[in-house]
Amino acid sequence: MKAKAMLITLALVTTLSVGCAQQPAPAAEPAPTPAPIETPAPAPEVKPDVVTTASIVDNAAAFESAISKDGTWIIAALNDITFDKELVLDGEFKNGKKDEKGNELIQRKIALYTQDADRNVTARFTLTAPKLTINSPEASIQHGTFKGDLYVSVSNFKLVDNVVDGNIYFTTEEAQSTFSMDEKSSVTGVQELKK
């Protein structure tokens, strides 16, 4: 009987041992698959705004391209440039600045000079052509010399510290009445209305 009791006790202890033994943790449920992340479409290629960038030019071909209707708002020369044909400053451009109402400012500038970091003029250049027609609104020629005749067809054309070695002909009365030049500018020839 003792053996039988011992066998029963042993069976019980074994059963209890197995039942109480640490069971392996249940396998973790796989994490839910995250929703696919939508990759944003690549941003469209951003090209420089030809309206507000400058063209720095050192030859006739680059200058002629820059003053075209597909050119830039400021054309900055790096040396004297000479043409034996007529030129036209054409197109409407914005300079990247805004007025007090938030409207973009229209401007076109032929810069016949270089400057340092403090905006001091460091060199002045001469643009030579038999005729330059100004068709871009709010245009100016600054800090150099233009040799030839100017034909101005837009209002508010300005000379800023610039010499015109030739005549200025205005094609409209408004172009003539809104023309201005500072005290450093001069015109060697006539300034007259020529329709």
| DSSP string across 99-127 | -TTSPEEE-EEEE-EEE-TT--EEEE-EE
pLDDT at residue 195 in the model: 73
- Model confidence, pTM: 0.72
What pLDDT is attached to residue 187?
98
- Give pLDDT, residue 55: 83
Apex CA 126: angle with CA 122 and CA 130, to 5°? Answer: 165
Domain parsing of the chain, residue ranges: 54-193
CA-to-CA distance for 138 and 89, rounded, in angstroms?
11
What pLDDT score does 96 carry?
87
Strands 186-187 and 163-165: parallel
Distance in angstroms (rounded) separating the CA atoms of residues 194 and 25: 99
Side chain identity, residue 163: V
Nearest Cα to Cα of residue 176 among 149, 148, 154, 160: 154
pLDDT, residue 4, reads: 46
Q: Look at strands 180-181 and 158-160 and give their pairing.
A: parallel
**pLDDT at residue number 27:** 53
pLDDT score recorded for residue 8? 47
Intervals of the chain under pLDDT 70: 1-54
The pLDDT of residue 35 is 47
- CB-CB contact of 11 with 5 (8 Å): no
